[in-house]
Chain A
Amino acid sequence: GAVVSQHPSWVICKSGTSVKIECRSLDFQATTMFWYRQFPKQSLMLMATSNEGSKATYEQGVEKDKFLINHASLTLSTLTVTSAHPEDSSFYICSALTLAKNIQYFGAGTRLSVL
């Protein structure tokens, strides 16, 4: 199957700093990627849809200035959590959509801990 790499897998940062998470599709081009947030023992909550070459589409209640998304190429999308606070601590997962199969392939996730 298609491979999606997400980096870093784990990050600890101080409150007020910004953290960038990368999501790469390694063996296919993805015009669309998705960013999710997951709380312990809960389902995935879609944060935003990232489209190559255009602005991301954010879900209701997700602050676009807080969670900056950039999809500058067909294989890379980044999520930057700006001025992180402890309540931003969570598991963030990206996925890349294969148009041919209409299947999302997921990264391994990033666990963010804000102190």
Chain B
Amino acid sequence: SQQGEEDPQALSIQEGENATMNCSYKTSINNLQWYRQNSGRGLVHLILIRSNEREKHSGRLRVTLDTSKKSSSLLITASRAADTASYFCATDAIPTDSWGKLQFGAGTQVVVTP
């Protein structure tokens, strides 16, 4: 079953604007990860944030984690048309029956128009 819920479900922005999407989860976690999926393709790992971290950056990506609220956000700054994709958060819930097993959120579909 899916652990996370993401909002918005869809986001349409223009190039140069920032895109923010949120993810909520239900159980305790070791870490939270964000993935990107281009249409009809596999997932690409973007960033991992551990439960004892509050914020992490990678290039134009900024991820925050609030374990008290069981939520995370992904910010893409200065978006480009190539950022058009679906973005998923994924958590490894505690307890788990399998190391490394992830539960994925519903995803946010981002469209960046030139």
Contacts and interface: CB of A to CB of B under 8 A. Distances in A.
A107 B104 contact: no
Contacts, number: 64
B45 A32 contact: no
Nearest to A41: B109
Interface in B57-114: 88, 92, 97-107, 109
Given A43-B88, A44-B88, A102-B92, A107 B97 contact: no
Interface in B31-49: 31, 33, 35, 40-45, 48
Contacts of A57: 97-98
A109 B42 contact: yes
Contacts of B28: none
Measured as residues with beta carbon below 8 angstroms from the partner, the interface class of chain B is: 20 to 34
Given A43-B106, A49-B101, A57-B98, A102 B48 contact: yes
A103 B48 contact: yes
B27 interface: no
Contacts of B92: 102
B40 A91 contact: yes
B113 to A, nearest CB: 19
Contact of A105 (B30, B45, B102): B45
B42 A108 contact: yes
B2 interface: yes
Given A57-B97, A108-B41, A111-B40, A43 B102 contact: no
A41 B6 CA distance: 14
Given A44-B43, A101-B48, 12 more contacts: A1-B45, A32-B98, A32-B99, A43-B104, A43-B106, A46-B102, A57-B97, A97-B100, A104-B45, A106-B44, A108-B42, A111-B40
